[in-house]
Amino acid sequence: MSKSIDAKIEKLKIIKEKARLGGGKDRIEAQHKKGKLTARERIDLLADKGTFTEIDMLAHHHSTSFGLDKVKPLGDGVVTGYAYIDGTKSFIFSQDFTVLGGSLAEQHGRKIVKIMEHAMKLGTPLIGLNDSGGARVQEGVISLGAYADIFLLNTLASGVIPQISVIMGPCAGGAVYSPAITDFVIMVKNTSYMFVTGPKVVKTVTHEELTAEDLGGASVHAGKSGVAHFVAENDMQALELVKKLLTFIPSNNKEEAPFVPNNDPTDRLNDDLTHIIPENSNMPYDIKEVIKSVADNHDFLEVHKDYAQNIVVGFIHLGGRSVGVVANQPAVLAGVLDINSSKKAARFIRFCDAFNIPLLTFEDVPGFMPGKDQEWGGIIANGAKLLYAYCEATVPKVTVITRKAYGGAYDVMSSKHIRGDFNFAWPTAEMAVMGAKGAVEIIFKKEIDGAEDKEAKQLELEEMYNEKFANPYIAASYGYIDDVFEPKFTRQRLIDTFKILENKVDTNPTKKHGNIPL
């Protein structure tokens, strides 16, 4: 009897060792030659040492068509399970390109759906490491059904648990929609790409000749389409980004964001901000310097860094608390709001609100971008997305107006009128319907036209307008601004304010869901 048991145990060991080898040593070597890690190597780097527990290692497909009955690799091209990532319990799937090209079919899809269901029930983040040749053609519509099963779970999990997609190889056709639904997409330079239709199809239909990198590489999706939130130099850096991201976000929508203690004094003054605003209000400055100055240990994790750079979004800790930052960027297009920046900020705001992360807004905005392309492209509906996101958000919201707050953009950028909790200003703040030049040309058109020296009269009236509106004190007199303080006190005022707001309760009217202007 004991020999029989020993033999069975030995058989189990052999089977599992075979499963761990994936597509075999030759294919693993081919993966390495492309500068890519294997599915299991990626998990080993991501998970805390010794914490990964695999599920469905022995699963395989049951298809018999097109020769599949002769090839039934264990795991079916994806490694799934749970682990701790820097102490955070998480569910992980990692597609194995060495096994049938990581192609997705019935069992492959079922494995992913199973851990997605577990993640939702247990309230843990879901991390997907994508590296797949797409749908398994030999399984036909069954493969397509498996994709749709995943899309449904992605949608149901949205706003319930954080979902992070890391694109570490090809991701084409139906495969791209799952990452697109998730909260954050990380791509790897030169080894990952995403597109609905590949270069060959594009050439056939449009006669354009493009490489996979040109069509859907990391730089394309980070800078042009906005599909990718982060770009990593290699697999290892991509996995480090996942770890860092998890330090700012909670495990589910019922928890608070993690508290990260540090030695940065809460009363540290920001003397470097005293003269950061140029004397000439039309001159640029870098809002990221402001964000880093107030953040704990000057650490800022920027999201969507290369996309719509006229607005900046990302995460910081303030006194150990996680905070989502939205900031106009005067150094790019004067910080004006346009279609892409509105969409970028709206999506980020809604993520923060879904996961109880307070919002900090730094405002320096001259208005919305004018022009035919913007109007025809739907700036009205897209700008309304940003407005909607701020209005809908019930998390603590604090705004600091550093300089310009003009026109409708003043309202949109988390003003007091759309439930901003505390709205502050620096002495350099300017709040008005529009800038001095445009306002004077409207209000004093007759006086300017009738003046001997029209240019001198224009400048005189602009100075008068600036004297009246290029300051925060009229808004403060109406209570639209809660306080005006010196820039150097910004960090300590923000920490104090968010601490006061930590037990804030706000609600929206009961409804199935709103109808955001998509």
What pLDDT was estimated at residue 116? 98
Structure tokens at 456: 């001198």
Phi, psi angle pair for 312, to nearest 5°: -120, 130
Alpha carbons 170 and 167: distance in angstroms, whole number: 7
Kindly list the catalytic residues. Answer: 173-174, 408-409
Residues in the chain, how many? 518
DSSP one-letter code for 222: I
With tokens 């950061």, the residue in question is: 276
Beta strands at 126-130 and 88-95: parallel, antiparallel or unpaired: parallel
DSSP element (H, E) containing 350: helix 339-354
Q: Of all residues in the chain, what percent are helix, strand and coil, respectively (each to 5)?
A: 45, 20, 35
Q: Which of 451, 403, 453 is nearest to 429 (CA)?
A: 403
Alpha carbons 251 and 275: distance in angstroms, whole number: 40
Query: Do 113 and 157 touch, CB atoms closer than 8 A?
Result: no
pLDDT tens digit at each of 518 positions of the chain: 566 898 889 998 998 898 888 888 989 999 999 999 999 999 999 999 999 999 998 888 777 676 677 777 788 899 999 999 999 999 999 999 998 888 888 889 999 999 999 999 999 999 999 998 887 877 778 888 999 999 999 999 999 999 999 999 999 888 899 999 999 999 999 999 999 988 999 999 999 999 999 999 999 999 999 999 999 999 999 999 999 999 999 999 999 988 999 999 999 999 999 999 999 988 999 999 999 999 999 999 999 999 999 999 999 999 999 999 999 999 999 999 999 999 999 999 999 999 999 999 999 999 999 999 999 999 999 999 999 999 999 999 999 999 999 999 999 999 999 999 999 999 999 998 888 788 888 888 888 888 888 788 888 888 888 888 778 999 999 999 999 999 999 999 999 999 999 999 999 999 999 999 99
Alpha carbons 106 and 361: distance in angstroms, whole number: 45
What pLDDT was estimated at residue 2? 60
Alpha carbons 167 and 444: distance in angstroms, whole number: 57
The three-class DSSP label of residue 391 is helix
Q: What are the counts of helices (DSSP H) followed by strands (DSSP E) for the chain?
A: 20, 17
Q: Which of 69, 77, 83 is nearest to 133 (CA)?
A: 77
pTM, to two decimals: 0.94
Distance from chain centroid for Cα 39: 24
Query: Do 79 and 43 touch, CB atoms closer than 8 A?
Result: yes
Q: Which residues contact 208 (CB under 8 A, 6 or more apart)?
A: 202
User: Exposed, middle or buried, 367 (CB in 10 Å: 0-12/13-18/19+)?
Assistant: buried
Alpha carbons 69 and 340: distance in angstroms, whole number: 49
What pLDDT was estimated at residue 448? 83
- Looking at residue 59, its amino acid is A
Alpha carbons 392 and 507: distance in angstroms, whole number: 9
Structure tokens at 265: 């004094």
DSSP one-letter code for 224: I
The three-class DSSP label of residue 518 is coil
